[in-house]
Chain A
């Protein structure tokens, strides 16, 4: 739990922003609980709520959630070898509470100390703490969201938090290619309706990053 304490400093305001966005889109505590407990993924929640506010079709919001959350497939693959001997119940519980933060602290702990044994408890300790904090902070966001002065463009906190997640994901030249291509295509296609620019940019960025990587290390 102590390992995620610094990350909670970032998650807490992110949760308030996500909760405030729920109110801004015309929803309240029940929908916030749905987003925060059923989807439980900040970036995807924010993007989906923003699309609902613009009256986008449900299928566009669902597709956007799936594209943003596709990164969990990578985390799942990275954690899977460690879960080979675990029960299905433990594996599915680990899946439900999986977050960027819980994954990051667990993997870095295992890399720093491969002989460390109680890492399953370590993973669940961090992940469940984050889950609880997320429920509390998004609920607070719903309750205080209306009190934020209009002069503070709270919606701008969304790309800012994504940026703070983006920077550490760029670790070498192929990931830089993926990010640069994703940014360029999504920006060029920004006037397209229903978030299509973001979906096109994501696909182009992944393709460009893979091509770069396979050319470098065939």
Chain B
């Protein structure tokens, strides 16, 4: 069971840190100059790298176990990937993925 004090430490420190990421360049916007290409490219790579590092292990090896190629989560994940690609719709992607994994886990 989780500890409430730890949660609040995470909320406050994580919240302050998150605000700093959001404020970073806005804070110095009045003396804004063009960013060096290396920095700009580094910033541009953050969303694909971080989101892929969050998504793929959770689908392929939930809990850090072995990769199972006939797993319900892998089937649902691939279907969700196809839907996300075609529709860019967050709701449809999540709803179909969740429905498929629920159904497959019931059947097995």
With A180-B52, A201-B49 already in contact, the answer to whether A161 and B90 are too (CB < 8 A) is: yes
Whether, in the assembled complex, A38 has its beta carbon less than 8 Å from a beta carbon of chain B, the answer is yes
Set B29, B45, B88: member contacting A178, Cβ < 8 A: B45
A38, B80: Cβ atoms closer than 8 Å? no
With both chains docked as a complex, state the minimum distance between the C-beta of B94 and any C-beta of chain A, in angstroms.
5
Residues from chain B with Cβ under 8 Å of A162 in the complex: 51, 54-55, 58
A84, B84: Cβ atoms closer than 8 Å? no
With A58-B6, A84-B32, A206-B42 already in contact, the answer to whether A69 and B21 are too (CB < 8 A) is: yes
Q: How far is the CA of A148 from the CA of B97 in the complex (A)?
A: 16
Determine the main DSSP class of A at the interface with B: helix
Residues from chain A with Cβ under 8 Å of B85 in the complex: 167
Of the four ranges (under 10, 10 to 19, 20 to 34, 35 or more), the interface on chain B belongs to 35 or more
Q: How far is the CA of A176 from the CA of B2 in the complex (A)?
A: 37
Interface size on A, residues (CB 8 A): 106
A91, B23: Cβ atoms closer than 8 Å? yes
Residues from chain A with Cβ under 8 Å of B42 in the complex: 206, 210
With both chains docked as a complex, state the minimum distance between the C-beta of A52 and any C-beta of chain B, in angstroms.
5
CB under 8 Å from chain A, chain B span 42-99: 42-62, 64-65, 67, 73, 76-77, 80-81, 84-85, 88-91, 93-95, 97-98
